[in-house]
Amino acid sequence: MNTTHDDMSDDDVLRAAGTSLSTLPVAAPPAAQAIMARGRTRRRRTLTGLGLAGTAGAAALALGLTGAFGSAPAYSTGTIRTAAFTLTRNANGTDTLTINPRVLVEPSTLQNDLAQYGIPAMVDAGSFCSTNPAPAGFSQVVTFSPGGTAAGQAVQGNGPGPQPTITINPSAMPAGTELSFGVFQLPTHEGVVALIDKNSYTCASTAPTALPHGALVVYAFPAGS
């Protein structure tokens, strides 16, 4: 039977999608007791951590080390390494993101890791979002190394060999903005980053042919090279 779906209401479409996903089996829930035991362990660990932090803080204050626990920003240095990227928190509060363009970035992994470092971002595979006009301040938020790159300027000759690195300064991001990362595999391997207004942007399912203002091509090279 040939039926059209054009006249389906939004609710009908959502119901069809829900029904489709509901065909996937879901494992029975673990025992609630086991979950609560796990939660208790986590709570104990948190309380122990707070206790240790409190003790260390008191000791530091006693020694007059106010710089370590005083009003200075609570930046913790650290590095997250995956096959596709390395994200390093720097002592000055900026973050360095090094991408291995030969490995497909899992969008939600990168997005979660950026969020963990205080960088609001939306990462998508096969989609790139931008705001027109772009929010001001992109060049203060994102710099490309070596040498820095002006907003709206594409990185040239960036083959699969070198691993591109960008430095992100989350404290320079204007309120209401976030970074948009788009990664593409075809027809070129390409990674694009832009600063967007998170309440007003448009997305395209192809890599931008003309780079909008407030965006940067992090890497681009032909697929298969």
Partner 1 sequence: MSNEQAEFTEFFQASWEPCVRAVVAIVGTQQLAEDQVAEAFARAWASWRKVSRHPAPRAWVVRTALNTGASWWRRRNRELPLAGHDLPAAPPGGLDASLQTALWRLPARQREVIALRIFLDLDTATIARQLGIEAGTVRMHMSRGVAALRRELTLANTTEADQ
Least distance in Å: CB of 184 to partner 1?
13
Q: Is residue 65 at the binding interface for partner 1, with CB under 8 A as the rule?
A: no
Tokens of 176: 């209401």
Segment contacting partner 1 by CB under 8 A, of 23-31, 61-69, 164-172, 183-191: 23-31
Q: Check if the beta carbon of residue 203 is closer than 8 Å to that of residue 127.
A: yes
Please name which of 98, 216, 102, 106 lies closest in space to residue 164, comparing C-alpha atoms. Answer: 98
Distance between first and last Cα of the chain: 47
Least distance in Å: CB of 23 to partner 1?
5
Q: Check if the beta carbon of residue 117 is closer than 8 Å to that of residue 89.
A: yes
Tokens 């992994």 sit on residue: 109
DSSP E strand boundaries for 67-199 = 78-81, 85-89, 95-99, 121-125, 128-130, 142-145, 165-168, 177-184, 188-197
- Binding residue for partner 1, selected from 53, 56, 61, 104, defined by CB under 8 A: 104
CB hemisphere CA count around 33 (13 angstroms): 0
Least distance in Å: CB of 201 to partner 1?
9
Segment contacting partner 1 by CB under 8 A, of 9-17, 65-73, 90-98, 149-157: 9-17
Q: Which is nearer to partner 1, 58 or 104 (CB)?
A: 104
Chain contacts with partner 1 (rule: CB under 8 A): 2-6, 8, 10, 13-14, 16-18, 20-27, 29-30, 32, 35-36, 38-40, 42-43, 46, 80, 82-84, 103-104, 106-109, 111-113, 115-116, 122-124, 126-127, 129, 198-199, 203
